[in-house]
């Protein structure tokens, strides 16, 4: 990759965000050094690879955040600017929009640094932001394609194009909970996808997530047919997680059971709960816990034992059988065993080479389930851990904007866990600072524009994403929850009607039955 400075050479390879598109010779290294200077303050620079104009805005944000010299932002902007006579052709991806269609002559580039609706003003019009996010989703849709409906993380092609986490189902769910336009062509597309063979039966990666959304959109028969077809895969399932395993399938079955104690699927949900309890007892890691110091520890809501705990909690609420609640507490304890207490008093999941606070894998996901458990139990370990779990949502510097492992998820968790936050602040935050306001105030660091509408980069900032896990749909769902009183940004996280009303199993609000924390935790769930 090295070449003499006298040669007017432009390298063909380079790290996204640090590589100059049109510069040659020594200017290539000078550009990378300018990006490095910015990265030291705000390491969100990978997205410069898809939107070079984002650099000036990041530099201004860094200068404001850290009180840098007055000329810092201008110096960074000048170092990133292209020469006026630079005539190198745009990369091929800029000749097409994020949906894969050829850009119309005379239209602006599909990825811009500033949308028509601003997130860096005060006050922010959050209703306008949510509407713009939804319009970006519609603008990117390709119902004429069979392989996917919305651009998102490439994992949708490994899982299911209609899937909940990375495919069409999650986007339609987000539009639904945010009150957006449903779009009949989108529903037709999802119905066609539902008729195809699904390799996986899980919730976030397969058939059960698609069925959940179809049911929400009123396609009840298609949803039930899909669940029936997925049954054989569930019988062979070894994954226990909420993402793609027993917990996600069981929670979805309980959703369909509703308040009907005679529903045939309640028996199936109880059988899955028994399998989940067996997994708790068999001593195997199940892809979740590892020896300390080894990468791959997956404690948290979607990949960890807390998702199992949520399933067992909902089974308890559906049946009233105390054993399920005790096992739910055990599951959350097992995730707490995977956490480390950082010096600022924050609990994070031990990921081996880093500690994790996020929803999918991380401590705030544990906190959401622990918080729901407090409606039914006075377990001392959970009560002691909750302030440190809630404090994990206060993370001023977050590289990703996404719901599953980024700022949108931390924003939603901070909103849900506010009552557990201690009065003292974590490192980097002012005493008494509101973490919800912090995340809302920093969301503009990540924002880009797709055809003038607010859009967010996906995993690692390498491309725009519209999916629920990594892109616009997830940010929309989180903002609907926090700024518009919508439901939580993921299914199954709302407080049960009985608990929310202060009653449990029909008892008066002031006589709610609670499970003492000192009862034995063993027992048969049958």
pLDDT digits (tens, 9 = 90+) for 131-184: 999 999 999 999 999 899 999 888 888 888 899 999 999 999 999 999 877 778
Length of the chain: 526
Q: For all residues of the chain together, what is the average pLDDT?
A: 86
CA separation for the pair 277, 8 (Å, rounded): 65
**pLDDT: is 505 or 256 the higher one?**
256
Give the chain's count of helices (H) and strands (E): 19, 6
User: Does residue 128 lie in a domain region?
Assistant: no
CA separation for the pair 289, 286 (Å, rounded): 7
- pLDDT in the model for residue 96: 43
- pLDDT in the model for residue 432: 55
CA separation for the pair 51, 60 (Å, rounded): 16
313 contact partners, CB below 8 Å, separation of at least 6:
324, 325, 328, 369, 372, 373, 376
Is the model's pLDDT at 85 over the cut of 60? Answer: no
* Burial (Cβ within 10 Å: 0-12, 13-18, ≥19) of residue 501: exposed
**pLDDT: is 247 or 154 the higher one?**
247
CA separation for the pair 150, 520 (Å, rounded): 49
Mean pLDDT of 502-508: 31
CA separation for the pair 127, 119 (Å, rounded): 11
DSSP code at position 362: B
Q: Within a 10 A sphere around the Cβ of 433, how many other Cβ atoms?
A: 15
Look at strands 339-341 and 111-112 and give their pairing.
Answer: unpaired
- Strands of 448-450's sheet, edge to edge? 111-112, 448-450, 453-455
> Residue 66 belongs to what domain range?
26-80
- pLDDT in the model for residue 234: 96
Backbone dihedral angles phi then psi of residue 342, each to the nearest 5 degrees: -80, 165
Q: Within a 10 A sphere around the Cβ of 2, how many other Cβ atoms?
A: 6
**Sign of the alpha-carbon dihedral angle for 361, 363, 369, 372:** negative
User: Does residue 38 lie in a domain region?
Assistant: yes
CA separation for the pair 438, 442 (Å, rounded): 6
**Taking phi first (over 0 means left), then psi (-120 to 50 degrees means alpha), and beta for anything else, what does residue 17 get?**
left
379 contact partners, CB below 8 Å, separation of at least 6:
329, 373, 517
- pLDDT in the model for residue 366: 98
User: Does residue 40 lie in a domain region?
Assistant: yes
**CA contacts within 13 A on the Cβ side of 371:** 25
Is the model's pLDDT at 502 over the cut of 70? Answer: no
Is the model's pLDDT at 495 over the cut of 80? Answer: yes
- pLDDT in the model for residue 110: 67
pLDDT digits (tens, 9 = 90+) for 210-221: 999 999 999 999
430 contact partners, CB below 8 Å, separation of at least 6:
none
Are 395 and 445 in contact, with CB atoms under 8 Å apart? no
* Burial (Cβ within 10 Å: 0-12, 13-18, ≥19) of residue 258: exposed
- Tokens representing 18 are 């640090």
User: Does residue 72 lie in a domain region?
Assistant: yes
This prediction has a pTM of: 0.88
- pLDDT in the model for residue 471: 95
User: Does residue 66 lie in a domain region?
Assistant: yes
Q: Would you give the distance in Å from CA 78 to the centre of its chain?
A: 35
- pLDDT in the model for residue 198: 67
Are 14 and 23 in contact, with CB atoms under 8 Å apart? no
- Tokens representing 443 are 């969301």
CA separation for the pair 420, 371 (Å, rounded): 9
* Burial (Cβ within 10 Å: 0-12, 13-18, ≥19) of residue 336: buried
User: Does residue 158 lie in a domain region?
Assistant: no
Look at strands 347-350 and 339-341 and give their pairing.
Answer: antiparallel
Which segments within 361-481 are labelled E, that is strand?
Answer: 448-450, 453-455
Backbone dihedral angles phi then psi of residue 320, each to the nearest 5 degrees: 75, 10
Are 187 and 172 in contact, with CB atoms under 8 Å apart? yes
**CA contacts within 13 A on the Cβ side of 377:** 30
* Burial (Cβ within 10 Å: 0-12, 13-18, ≥19) of residue 510: exposed
Are 315 and 273 in contact, with CB atoms under 8 Å apart? yes
User: Does residue 36 lie in a domain region?
Assistant: yes
- Tokens representing 169 are 């189902």
Task: Please report which confidence band the pLDDT of residue 462 belongs to, taking 50, 70 and 90 as the band edges.
Answer: confident
Q: What share of the chain is helix, strand, coil (3-state, %, to 5)?
A: 45, 5, 50
Domain count within the chain: 1
Which of these, 248, 201, 130, 134, lies nearest to 491 by C-alpha position? 248
Which of these, 212, 180, 177, 151, lies nearest to 467 by C-alpha position? 151
Q: Within a 10 A sphere around the Cβ of 87, how many other Cβ atoms?
A: 7
Is the model's pLDDT at 525 over the cut of 80? Answer: no
DSSP code at position 205: S
Q: Would you give the distance in Å from CA 21 to the centre of its chain?
A: 31
DSSP helix/strand/coil, 515: strand
DSSP code at position 144: T
Task: Please report which confidence band the pLDDT of residue 517 belongs to, taking 50, 70 and 90 as the band edges.
Answer: very low
**CA contacts within 13 A on the Cβ side of 119:** 29
- pLDDT in the model for residue 84: 56
CA separation for the pair 408, 477 (Å, rounded): 9
Least confident of 105-119, 182-196, 317-331, 399-413: 105-119
User: Does residue 423 lie in a domain region?
Assistant: no
pLDDT digits (tens, 9 = 90+) for 38-77: 999 999 999 888 888 899 999 999 999 899 998 999 999 9
């Amino acid at each position: 990759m090295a070449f003499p400075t006298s040669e007017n050479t432009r390298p063909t390879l380079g790290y996204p965000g640090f590589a100059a598109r049109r510069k040659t010779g020594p200017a290539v290294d000078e550009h990378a050094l300018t990006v490095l200077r910015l990265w030291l303050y705000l390491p969100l620079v990978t997205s410069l690879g898809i939107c070079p104009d984002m650099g000036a805005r990041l530099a201004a944000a860094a200068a404001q955040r850290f009180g840098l010299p007055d000329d810092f932002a201008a110096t960074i902007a000048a170092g990133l600017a292209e020469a006026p006579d630079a005539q190198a052709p745009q990369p091929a991806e800029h000749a097409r929009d994020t949906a894969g269609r050829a850009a119309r002559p005379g239209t602006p580039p599909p990825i811009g640094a500033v949308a028509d609706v601003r997130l860096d003003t005060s006050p922010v019009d959050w209703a306008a932001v949510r509407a713009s996010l939804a319009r970006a989703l519609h603008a990117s849709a390709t119902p004429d394609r069979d392989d996917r409906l919305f651009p998102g993380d490439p994992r949708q092609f490994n899982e299911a194009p209609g899937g909940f986490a990375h495919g069409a189902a999650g986007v339609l769910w987000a539009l639904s909970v945010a009150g957006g336009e449903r779009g009949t062509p989108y529903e037709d597309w999802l119905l066609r996808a539902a008729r195809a063979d699904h390799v996986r039966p899980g919730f976030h990666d397969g058939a059960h997530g698609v069925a959940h959304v179809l049911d929400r959109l009123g396609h009840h028969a298609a949803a039930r047919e899909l669940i029936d077809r997925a049954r054989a895969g569930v019988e062979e399932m070894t994954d226990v997680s909420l993402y793609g395993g027993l917990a996600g399938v069981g929670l979805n079955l309980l959703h369909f059971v509703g308040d009907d104690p005679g529903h045939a699927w309640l028996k199936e949900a109880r059988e899955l709960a028994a399998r989940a309890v067996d997994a708790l007892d068999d001593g195997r890691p199940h892809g979740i816990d590892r020896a300390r110091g080894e990468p791959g520890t997956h404690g948290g809501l979607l990949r960890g034992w807390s998702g199992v705990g949520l399933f067992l909690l909902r089974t308890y609420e559906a049946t009233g059988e105390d054993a399920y609640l005790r096992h739910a507490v055990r599951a959350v304890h097992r995730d707490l065993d995977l956490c480390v207490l950082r010096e600022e008093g924050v609990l994070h999941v031990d990921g081996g080479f880093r500690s994790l606070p996020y929803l999918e894998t991380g401590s705030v996901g544990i906190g959401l389930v622990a918080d729901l458990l407090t409606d039914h139990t006075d377990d001392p370990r959970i009560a002691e851990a909750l302030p440190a779990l809630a404090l994990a949502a206060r993370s001023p510097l977050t590289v990703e904007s996404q719901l599953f492992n980024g700022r949108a998820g931390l924003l939603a968790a901070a909103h849900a866990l506010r009552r557990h936050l201690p009065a003292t602040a974590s490192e980097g935050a002012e005493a008494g600072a509101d973490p919800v306001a912090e995340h809302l105030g920093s969301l503009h660091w990540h924002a880009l524009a797709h055809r003038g509408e607010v859009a967010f980069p996906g995993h690692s900032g390498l491309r725009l994403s519209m999916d629920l896990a990594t892109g616009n749909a997830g940010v929309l769902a989180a903002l609907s929850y926090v700024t518009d009183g919508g439901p939580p940004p993921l299914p199954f996280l709302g407080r049960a009607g009985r608990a929310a009303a202060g009653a449990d199993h029909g008892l008066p609000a002031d006589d709610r039955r609670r499970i003492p924390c000192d009862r034995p935790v063993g027992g048969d769930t049958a």
